[in-house]
A and B are shown apart, each in its own frame.
Chain A
Amino acid sequence: MEVFSYRFKAMGGPCEVRLHADDRAQADRHAAVAKAEILRLEQRYSRYREDSFTTLVNRSAGDARGIEADAESAALLDYAQTAWEQSGGLFDITSGVLRRVWDFKARRVPAQAEIDGILPLIGWQRVRWERPRLVLPLAGMELDFGGYVKEYAADRAAQACRDAGARHGFVELAGDIALIGAHPDGAPWQIGVRHPRAPEQALATIPLAAGAIASSGDYERYFEVDGLRYSHLLNPKTGWPVRGLSAVSVVAPQCLIAGTASTIAMLKGAEAGPRWLGELGLRHLCVAADGVLAGTVEHRTVPAHGPLTRT
């Protein structure tokens, strides 16, 4: 068996399918299945596409009749509701509207009054979700599936590869990885974890023989003003970026759960975040603002911060 790697862009970031196959043709077939699944979900849930479910939902905001969700979207909405409940309201797919005042390209800190003007549009408790009917009661409200569809897509693509007969490999979407399976000899993949202050370098490697790993960090989108870092991880209750942890990586059976847990941990902050992951019983690795590593996942620190690899 040989290792084959396929890279492409989807869901706003770099993707990779790497797998062991008997020959190039078999690898091509398995990778195509994964890519098709990722592109399907991108098309369905992208904010930027006119025909996506997300656009359809957001156009319906203010319409009391709402819209009807298909089975997959309904299950994703149920999941969002569960994550909202379990995070005490921190994981909230209505918080995307904050981007109207937080422009990470313009690098501008909004005034409190601007944020206060947006907050009434935020809060899953304002959404009327009575499966299969979804109503966004206020015009201007928005749902954003970007916070978890990427991880879900990694799970689905890995499963699609397994269904097609692949057994050894992984699917990665911008750092979130769902394993198809361990190396053919059963050895784990060594997953490099990003250094939050040098994102193309590995801070540590985590061996993974099954399941998934997802990371969340303040390095993904941010700007700095007067020495303060403003990251894209916004608290939906205050409208302000959270501070505390630099990055969190979580290992879970599903990439979806790993991603949700890492996002919630970041939002909970330096003390409550790691404690909550501990209560969950999920293996994790946290990087504090000062760069100190802590966590329960077996890992090897990379001394000179070598290149980011997955082997």
Chain B
Amino acid sequence: MTQGMRWGVLVMGVALLCGCSGMQPKAWQRGDLAQPEMAWDPDPVDAAIRQHTYDSKEAASGSATVGGGGCGCN
């Protein structure tokens, strides 16, 4: 396993701890669906550049949208 992976797991653990100490009561059920974090892509601009990067380095592509264009390959 790589250095990077171990680091990722460590960060996850820290996030969980922070989550507990900063816990706030979340209300009603329906409302939870309305949180921005529940969106398919909460940060669409970041999602776009990540998708573009993967598409240009990997053979697979395809998503639940028809937007796109551009290569920027090499």
- The answer to whether A and B belong to the same complex is yes
Residues of chain A at the chain B interface (Cβ within 8 Å): 182, 186-188, 207-211, 251-253, 281-283, 298
Chain B residues with CB below 8 A from A281, complex form: 29
A-B contact pairs, 6 of them (CB 8 A): A182-B24, A187-B24, A210-B31, A211-B31, A251-B27, A253-B31
Q: Do the beta carbons of B28 and A207 come within 8 Å of each other?
A: no
Q: In the complex, what's the smallest C-beta–C-beta distance from A283 to chain B, in angstroms?
A: 6
Complex CA–CA separation, A208 to B22 (angstroms): 15
The binding surface of chain A is classed by DSSP as loop
> Which of chain B's residues have a CB closer than 8 A to the CB of A208?
25, 27
Contact pattern, B 25-52, Cβ under 8 Å of A = 1, otherwise 0: 1111111001000000000000000000
Are A252 and B25 in contact, with the CB atoms below 8 A?
A: no
B24 and A253 contact, CB distance less than 8 A: no
B27 x A210 contact (CB < 8 A): yes
Say whether chain B's binding surface is mostly helix, strand, loop, or mixed: loop
Residues of A within 8 A of B29 (CB): 281
CA distance A210 to B29 in the complex (A): 12
Q: Tell me if B24 and A251 are in contact (CB < 8 A).
A: no
In the docked arrangement, what's the CA distance between A210 and B31, Å? 8
Do residues A186 and B30 form an inter-chain contact, with CB atoms below 8 A?
no
Chain B residues packing against A (C-beta within 8 Å): 22, 24-31, 34
A209-B25, A281-B29, A283-B27 given; 4 more Cβ-contact pairs under 8 Å: A188-B25, A210-B31, A253-B34, A298-B25
CB distance from A114 to the nearest CB of B (A): 42
- Determine the chain B residues whose CB is within 8 A of the CB of A283 once the complex forms: 27-28
CB distance from B9 to the nearest CB of A (A): 27
> Are A252 and B24 closer than 8 Å at their CB atoms?
no
- CB pair A209–B26 under 8 Å, yes or no, is yes
Contacts of B34 in A (CB 8 A): 253
Complex CA–CA separation, A188 to B29 (angstroms): 17
Contact between B25 and A253, CB atoms less than 8 A apart = no
Pairwise interchain contact A253-B28, C-beta atoms closer than 8 A: yes
Residues of A within 8 A of B22 (CB): 186
- State whether B26 touches A253 (Cβ < 8 A): no
Bound CA–CA A207/B24 (angstroms): 9
User: Please, which residues of chain A bring their CB within 8 A of the CB of B31?
Assistant: 210-211, 253
Smallest beta-carbon distance B69→chain A, Å:
36
Cα-based distance from A308 to B13 in the complex (angstroms): 41
CA distance A36 to B16 in the complex (A): 44
For B28, what are the chain A residues with a Cβ–Cβ distance below 8 Å? Answer: 211, 251-253, 282-283
